[in-house]
């Protein structure tokens, strides 16, 4: 597959992980990937779990290209009609694509801007807790998904609506020995967002919602071993996707004021240091492929009163690693089937 070896696969500017791939023709590229399906997943692994593909605008007119590109990354491309109760997000062309958009019927509002909106040196804030909302896709399910593909059909202006990514492998490898020894034995308690179990809701004393198999809570190791690379990575969320009623960590005092909360803040502050993050400023036709097993990400604010943003996503399952071996899927219980 010649494109792997030529100048079009480049280091990702401004990042210590990831690769940039410049695509001349999306259909030709997709056919090449299908002809050698092991190559792109191998490149993703080599790149530390993040690929940025430029020039994939043909997906807008042919959404099936996004699904076709998803198949090499695992045995199953998620069918959201079967796994999600948010059917307003389903793409009309394929139930394997969801739309993350402020347009109706999705009505997905952007996060609030950080306070202050810029760092002291004028940069976009990335580091927790100045930046909030860091998570990995569907960590509230067991096993969680492996890979996500995120496509810019209609991005916000480049100075708004960026997506931030952080390197879990680099974060693990930069932990000091004492904190690494603690983290390696931790189990995080993850829950679906906006169910009243998030940090803000618990802090404000709001009544939690009832949960079903789709929502969690689910225990996840804070340190995962990547099943392909064999490298360890931090696996952690904050704010909405950790269960602040029962967690955030198993076996420690739960809630927002205890030792577990302090430890999560310490780990997330380390995880999201600028040297381990990348901010993607979207152009129409960009496709970002990220490995949920070793990266986290965060959305950023855009002015939804003036601009629309319409992003398409697929998720892929199939190789979560030996920690989950032999488990049935947490979301396929009676409440979901019935």
| pLDDT number for residue 140 | 97
Q: What's the CA gap between 7 and 13, in Å, rounded? A: 14
Q: What's the average model confidence in pLDDT over 47-69?
A: 98
Q: Does 4 have pLDDT greater than 80?
A: no
| pLDDT number for residue 336 | 35
Report which of 137, 135, 139, 191 is spatially closest to residue 164, judged by C-alpha positions: 135
Start-to-end CA span in the chain (Å): 46
* CATH code for the domain of 293: 3.60.130.10
Domains: count for the chain: 1
Q: What's the average model confidence in pLDDT over 125-136?
A: 98
Return the DSSP state at 76.
Answer: E
Domain containing 246: what range?
A: 2-337
| pLDDT number for residue 213 | 87
Q: Average pLDDT, whole number, for the chain?
A: 95
| pLDDT number for residue 85 | 81
Q: Which two tokens stand for residue 325?
A: 């071996």
| pLDDT number for residue 312 | 98
- Summarised one tens digit per residue, pLDDT across range 193-214 is 999 999 999 999 999 999 988 9
- Rounded to whole angstroms, what are the CA distances from 257 to 102, 202, 203, 222? 34, 10, 9, 20
Share of the chain above pLDDT 90, in %: 93
Q: Which two tokens stand for residue 287?
A: 């496709």
Q: Count the alpha carbons within 13 Å of 60 in the hemisphere toward its beta carbon.
A: 13
Q: What's the CA gap between 13 and 334, in Å, rounded? A: 47
What sign for the dihedral angle of Cα 287, 292, 298, 299? positive
- Per the DSSP assignment, residues forming a β-bridge with 77 are 316
- Summarised one tens digit per residue, pLDDT across range 259-299 is 999 999 999 999 999 999 999 999 999 999 999 999 999 99
Q: What's the CA gap between 198 and 218, in Å, rounded? A: 14
Q: What's the CA gap between 209 and 162, in Å, rounded? A: 30
| pLDDT number for residue 271 | 98
- Summarised one tens digit per residue, pLDDT across range 143-164 is 999 999 999 999 999 999 999 9
Residue 104: partners with Cβ closer than 8 Å, 6 or more residues away: none
Q: What's the average model confidence in pLDDT over 78-94?
A: 94
| pLDDT number for residue 335 | 37
Residue 207: partners with Cβ closer than 8 Å, 6 or more residues away: 196
| pLDDT number for residue 338 | 27
């Amino acid at each position: 597959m010649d494109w792997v070896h030529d100048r079009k696969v480049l280091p990702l500017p401004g990042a210590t992980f990831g690769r940039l791939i410049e695509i001349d023709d999306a259909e030709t590229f997709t056919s090449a990937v299908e002809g050698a399906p092991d190559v792109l997943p191998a490149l993703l692994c080599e790149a530390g779990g993040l690929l940025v593909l430029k020039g994939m605008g043909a997906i807008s007119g042919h959404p099936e290209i996004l699904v076709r590109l998803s198949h090499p990354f695992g045995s199953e491309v998620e069918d959201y009609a079967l796994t999600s109760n948010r059917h307003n997000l389903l793409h009309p062309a394929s139930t394997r694509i969801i739309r993350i958009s402020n347009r109706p019927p999705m009505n997905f509002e952007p996060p609030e801007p950080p306070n202050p909106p810029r760092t002291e040196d004028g940069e976009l804030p990335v580091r927790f807790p100045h930046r909030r909302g860091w998570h990995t896709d569907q960590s509230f399910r067991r096993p969680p998904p492996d890979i996500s593909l995120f496509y810019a059909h209609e991005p916000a202006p480049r100075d708004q609506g960026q997506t931030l990514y952080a390197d879990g492998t680099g974060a693990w490898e930069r932990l000091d020995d004492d904190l690494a020894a603690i983290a390696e034995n931790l189990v995080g308690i993850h829950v679906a967002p906006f169910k009243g179990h998030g940090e803000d809701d618990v802090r404000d004393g709001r009544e939690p919602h009832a949960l079903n198999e789709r929502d969690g809570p689910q225990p996840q190791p804070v340190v995962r071993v990547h099943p392909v690379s064999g490298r360890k990575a931090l696996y952690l969320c904050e704010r909405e996707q950790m269960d602040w009623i029962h967690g955030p960590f198993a076996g420690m005092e739960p809630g927002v004021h205890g030792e577990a909360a302090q430890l999560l803040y310490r780990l997330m502050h380390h995880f999201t240091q600028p040297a381990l993050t990348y901010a993607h400023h979207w152009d129409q036709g960009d496709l970002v492929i990220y490995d949920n097993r070793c990266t986290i990400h965060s959305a950023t604010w855009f002015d939804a009163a003036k601009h629309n943003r319409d992003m398409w996503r697929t998720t892929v399952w199939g190789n979560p690693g030996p920690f989950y071996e032999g488990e049935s899927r947490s979301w396929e219980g009676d409440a979901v089937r019935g």
